[in-house]
Structure 1
Amino acid sequence: MAEREPVRITGVHALSALGRGADALLAGVLAGTPAFTPVRRFDTGGRRVTVAATLPEVGTLADELADAIDRACRAAGLDRTHRAGAALFLAAHGGPHSLPAPDRPGGGDAGPEVPALAGHLARRCGLGERTRVYTTACVSASTAVADAATLIGRGDLDRVVVAAGYLVEPDQYALFDAGRALAADGAVRPFSAGRQGLLLGDGVVAVVLESARAAARRGAPTLATVAGWGRAGDAYHPCQPHPRGHGLARAVEAALRRAGLPGTAVGYVNANATGTPYSDASEAAALGRVFGAAAGRIPVSSTKAVHGHALEASGLLELVVTVLALGHGKLPVNAGWLGPDENCPLDVVTDAPRPATTAHALTLNAAFGGANTALLVGAP
C-alpha cells in the first residue's frame, strides 16, 4: 500500500558533546567548533588515538534515553493519553550497562538484550506496548525513522517516538582504534584533502513523528515534514561502500521518488561523510550519480566534524541537526577543512554557516555491510 498520510516531526530532543537540548546542538553545529577532547570516561592508555566528543556528566544509557524520550514528548505537547498510544522504535547497541540492575533479566551484572531496554523505556516513559529495536550499526536510527514514516504514512500508526543512543564506551572505541579508523591527528575532516578518519561522539536523541491528522487534532506545531526516505544495499564489501556510490545513490533516488520531487528541490545535504578517504569519495560519487553536474552546486556538510560519529544514534542526531538548520535558516559548517580533494567535487560549506534558501534537505547515512539510507526533510 502506498503512503498517503503526510508525516510530521512535532518534537525533538538531543544530547551530544555540544550539550543538552536542541538549542545547544544547533548553537554548536553553527559555531563549527569541534567538540573533541581527551577521553576521561575510561582509560585510553595504549591506544593510538585518545580523543572523542563526550559530554562530561552523563548517566547510564537507559537514564539518558528515558530523559530524551520524555523531553521530546513534552516538546511535542504529548499528554499521558497521547503517549499511551505511541509506539517506540529504538536504535541502540545495548550492553551490560543499558539497564539498571533491578530490570536486568535475573538481576546481577549480565547485560540485557536491546528488546529488554525498549520495553523498559516504553514503560518508564508511559508509551504504548508496541516497540521495535534496530541494531543495524550506523543506519539503525535512520532505518527506524523510515519504518516509522512508512507505517504512519499508510495509516497503520498515528504516532511513533524514535529514540537512539550511543555513549562513547571502551569496547567500540577499542575496535575502531585497532582498525585504524580513528583520525590520528585528532580532527575529522569530511571531504577534505588530508583527512585521516573518524572520531566517536556521544549522541542520545528522541524524535516524535506523527501523521498530519493526528498532529492537527492536537493543534501541535510542526517542526518539519519527513517528505521521503530510501534504503539500498551495495552488496559490495563487508566494510567498504561501492566506490561509485551505487547503493547510496539508489537510496537518494528512492527518497526523491517517494516525495514526488525532482533533484532540483534539494538545497542542502547533511552528508554521512565520516572523514575517511574511501567512504567520503564514494559518497561524493553517489551525489554526482544522482544530481549530475548540479552536485557541485548543492551545499554539503557533515556535522560529524563537530559532534563526532554517534554510531547507532548518528542518523537521528543528524536528522535533528538538519531539521533545526532548516528551521533556523542556516546551514552548518563542515569543520576541519584543509582544502579540496579532487575525488570530492562538491560545494562544501566551509568557514561560516550559509543562509538556507531551501525548503528540502537530505540527510544521509551508511553502515558496514553496505547499508545506505536517505531521509528527505522539508520545512513545515
Structure 2
Amino acid sequence: MAERRVAQLTGVHAVSALGRGAEAQLAGALAGVPAFGAVRRFDTAARRVTVAATVPDVGTLPDELAAAVDAACGAAGLTGAQRVGCALLLAVHGGPVPGVGVAPGALADQLAARCGLSGHTRVYTSACVSASTAVADAATVISRGDANRVVVAAGYLVESDQFALFDAGRALAVDGAVRPFSAGRRGLLLGDGVVAVVLESSVGCRHGAEPLATVAGWGRAGDAFHPCQPDPTGAGMARAVDAALRRAGLPPEAVGYVNANATGTAQSDAAEAAALRRALGGYAAQVPVSSTKSVHGHALEASGLLELVVTALALRRGDLPVNAGWLAPDEACPLDVITDQPRRTTATHALTLNAAFGGANTALLVGAP
C-alpha cells in the first residue's frame, strides 16, 4: 500500500507588528499584548479611528515578500537547485500594488523570478480567505502527488484606501482594541502581515528539514448569505470545518485548539461561535479558543497564513495564545475562550479558521508532525 502523502510545513517566516520572524509572532501572541498604535504611514486626520498594528520602517510589499520567501526557503533548508520548478502561490489584494503599481499577477511572476522559483505561479485575491485558500490548494496538489514542494506567500501592509473603507463602514473599533468573543466588542483593527511558508510532501522530500507541522485537513464552503454580513447560523463555516475533519479522518474530539477568525465584530463572532457548535456539537464548549487578531490585527489577504504560522508554532510548543481585549463573557459566544494567560496543552491538532465578505469560509486543520 502506497504511503499517504501529507503536506508538511518545513519552513516559515512572518512579519507583523509583533516583530520580524516566526518566533516573534508566537512570542507576541503568547504575551497577549496588543501591537496597536497610532498610524503614521498616512494621514488619518479625517478618520474616526486612527490606530492599526503597523511595522515600523517597513519596506515595499515586493521587497518584504521577497525577503519572507527567501527566509522561509532558508528555514526549510532548500538549496537553489531545490527551488527550481517549485510553484509559488501568492495571496494579495486584487488591485495594483500600492506604491509600486504592478498588477498581482506580475508581482507573483517577479517574486518567483527574484527568489529562484521557476514553477508556475498563481494569485489569490479572495479577500480574507486568500491565504488559507492558497494553503488548501497547495495541500491538495501535494496530497495528490502532483507536486512535492510548494511555496505559499501572502502580504498586506496597512494602506490608506482599505483603511478608509473599513473606517467609513464603521467596522473599525473606536476604542482602539480588538475584543474577540467578548461582551463590549466594538470591531476590528487592521494590521500588517507578510508571510511565507514552504509546504513539502511527507513522501519524496527527504533533505533534512524537520517538519514544524502538517496540514492534516482543509475545507472550504460558501454560504452567500449577504455581501457583508455572515450567516448567523454559521452553516458555511461549519461545513468548512466538517470537510477539514473528514479529509483528515478525525472526529471533532481530535481538535485541541481553535485559532478563530473572530475579528471582534458583534455579528461575525456570534456566527462563528454558532458554526463551532454546529460542527463540533457539545464538544465545542470544551475546546480552547482564541483569536490572535486581538494582538496582531486583521491582515486581510495575509491573515490566513499569519494565523496558520502562529497556530502551528503554538501547537508545537504546547502553549495556546491569549485572546486579548477580553472584558466579559457574551451569551452569544458560549465558548472556552483563553483569557489572562496562555494555556498549556498536549493536543496534536488545531483548527485555524477564516471568513471573508460574500460568505467565503475556510478551515485548516493543523497537525503535529
> Which TM class, normalised by the smaller chain length?
over 0.9
Matched residues in 1 for 2:7 and 2:237: separation? 23
Equivalent position of 1:21 in the other structure:
21
Give the unaligned 5+ runs of structure 2.
Answer: none
**Residue-pair matches, total:** 367
Q: Deviations over 1:270-313 (max 9, x none)?
A: 00000000000000000000111211110000000000000000
Question: Is residue 2:270 matched to residue 1:281?
Answer: yes
Matched residues in 2 for 1:118 and 1:235: separation? 29
- Indicate if the aligned counterparts of 2:228 and 2:357 stay in contact, CA closer than 8 A: yes
Matched residues in 2 for 1:128 and 1:149: separation? 19
Shift of 1:99: 7.6
Equivalent position of 2:365 in the other structure:
376
SS at match of 1:247: helix
Equivalent position of 1:40 in the other structure:
40
Structure 1 residue identity aligned to 2:241: V
Which of 103, 121, 145 is the aligned partner of 1:113?
A: 103
Equivalent position of 2:129 in the other structure:
139
- Indicate if the aligned counterparts of 1:99 and 1:117 stay in contact, CA closer than 8 A: no
Equivalent position of 1:207 in the other structure:
197
Equivalence map 1:152-231=2 (5 Å): 152-215=142-205, 217-231=206-220
- Indicate if the aligned counterparts of 1:86 and 1:128 stay in contact, CA closer than 8 A: yes
Matched residues in 1 for 2:281 and 2:63: separation? 45
Question: Is residue 2:240 matched to residue 1:251?
Answer: yes
- Indicate if the aligned counterparts of 2:89 and 2:134 stay in contact, CA closer than 8 A: yes
Matched residues in 2 for 1:272 and 1:6: separation? 25
Shift of 1:112: 2.0
Matched residues in 1 for 2:285 and 2:240: separation? 19
Equivalent position of 2:10 in the other structure:
10
Structure 2 residue identity aligned to 1:133: V
Question: Is residue 2:305 matched to residue 1:305?
Answer: no
Which of 330, 334, 337 is the aligned partner of 1:341?
A: 330
- Indicate if the aligned counterparts of 1:231 and 1:250 stay in contact, CA closer than 8 A: yes
Equivalent position of 1:103 in the other structure:
none
Equivalent position of 1:75 in the other structure:
75
Shift of 1:64: 0.2
Equivalence map 1:317-336=2 (5 Å): 317-336=306-325
Q: Deviations over 1:213-262 (max 9, x none)?
A: 233x2122100010000000012111111101000000000000000000
Shift of 1:193: 0.1
- Indicate if the aligned counterparts of 1:98 and 1:117 stay in contact, CA closer than 8 A: no
- Indicate if the aligned counterparts of 2:97 and 2:104 stay in contact, CA closer than 8 A: no
Matched residues in 2 for 1:248 and 1:257: separation? 14
Higher alpha-carbon deviation: 367-376 or 205-214: 205-214
Give the unaligned 5+ runs of structure 1.
Answer: 101-110
- Indicate if the aligned counterparts of 2:191 and 2:298 stay in contact, CA closer than 8 A: yes
- Indicate if the aligned counterparts of 2:77 and 2:208 stay in contact, CA closer than 8 A: no
Question: Is residue 2:342 matched to residue 1:353?
Answer: yes
Identity rate of aligned residues, in percent? Answer: 75
The 1:94–1:59 alpha-carbon spacing in structure 2 relative to 1, beyond 3 Å, is farther
Structure 2 residue identity aligned to 1:210: E
SS at match of 1:65: helix
